[in-house]
Structure 1
């Protein structure tokens, strides 16, 4: 027996989300059916609003509802250090450790020739633009995957002649892992034990 058409359509929408299979999508739809009208209206409004209101910071690429994110506009943070990450999720992960107090730069992906993602497809030009400001250190905090290593080596190459310290997270993080699934204490240690790269 098949579900009603509208049920199937919503279920298929949920299945498009990463990590959501058919069973989870079905549970979501059944949960929504139990909501009252006000809850459903609020849920619908929030879905519509998030795409309209949230954009990327003009400076670092993090999420914001304005032009500049709360991290870039926070003068109490260390303005001399930039931590380079793959995507906005990594910013939240590093912030949860409470061990880093500098700024960030979101690349928006990693170099991957197999997937036809090249340096010019990433927010690398924005990073180079920020080097015009006084900086002491750039921390490369990318996932220890093949793509992460490729991107890290590329960044090291283009930053080599700049008068700035370059460091990478220590290798306590397993090769091939994603920062999203690494224990916060291990990430904190990886930041504290980061290795400076000789030029």
Structure 2
């Protein structure tokens, strides 16, 4: 129906999460209405992001520097760590602005069904960070579900001989739900009312 070049552009937009056929078509036509300058800037931003964005060497969140601005901030609480599954969750907590500790990105959850074990995610580096930085509390801020429970129990087991408390953000997050679908007040309350992992 569409010219091949336009069809290819539509298919490219459909690669993005949550983008179906109709939305992809709208986005493609919007891009075609860009001026040459806007189009050039748009494509350069994608190219630069892909080339320059990478995990922070300390916490694993996305940054365009060797160490992210959060890890560089010496005014933050040093002994408290929020542990998240994905980088995007770090930015959600930062938007709320009430957490003043540091973060650790696991880069996934333990999932035996998907053949993802403890060595496939950033657990070893988490343990090293707890020892090195004398962390007193880790707050698990991961979505609910079997993989999250498996990961939580594994962390509790390997950290039981360390002087660190393990808490989990309170309920209010839907089972299997991503944190980015939760409003900021719910997320803030979930941190405040966190409970110890049993």
Which category of TM-score, normalised to the shorter sequence, fits these structures?
Answer: over 0.9
Q: Deviations over 1:60-109 (max 9, x none)?
A: 00011111011111011111111100001111111122221100000001
Residue 11 (structure 1) aligns with: 10
SS of aligned partner of 1:71: helix
Counterpart contact for 2:152–2:197, Cα < 8 Å: no
Residue 34 (structure 2) aligns with: 35
SS of aligned partner of 2:149: helix
Counterpart contact for 1:14–1:25, Cα < 8 Å: yes
Give the drift of 1:182.
1.4
Counterpart contact for 1:84–1:140, Cα < 8 Å: yes
Counterpart contact for 1:142–1:152, Cα < 8 Å: no
Separation in structure 1 between the aligned mates of residue 100 and residue 17 of structure 2, nearest angstrom: 30
Separation in structure 2 between the aligned mates of residue 172 and residue 160 of structure 1, nearest angstrom: 27
Counterpart contact for 2:59–2:103, Cα < 8 Å: yes
Give the drift of 1:141.
1.1
Give the drift of 1:187.
1.0
- TM-score w.r.t. the length of structure 1 is 0.95
SS of aligned partner of 1:82: strand
Residue 152 (structure 2) aligns with: 152
Counterpart contact for 1:81–1:103, Cα < 8 Å: yes
Unaligned runs of 5+ in 1: none
Counterpart contact for 1:99–1:191, Cα < 8 Å: no
Residue 55 (structure 1) aligns with: 54
Separation in structure 1 between the aligned mates of residue 66 and residue 2 of structure 2, nearest angstrom: 44
Are residue 169 (structure 1) and residue 169 (structure 2) matched? yes
Residue 100 (structure 1) aligns with: 99
List aligned pairs for 1:119-130, cutoff 5 A.
119-130=118-129
- TM-score w.r.t. the length of structure 2 is 0.95
Over the aligned positions, Cα root-mean-square deviation in angstroms equals 1.2
SS of aligned partner of 2:139: strand
Separation in structure 2 between the aligned mates of residue 24 and residue 164 of structure 1, nearest angstrom: 47
Moved over 6 A (4+): none
Unaligned runs of 5+ in 2: none
Residue 69 (structure 2) aligns with: 70
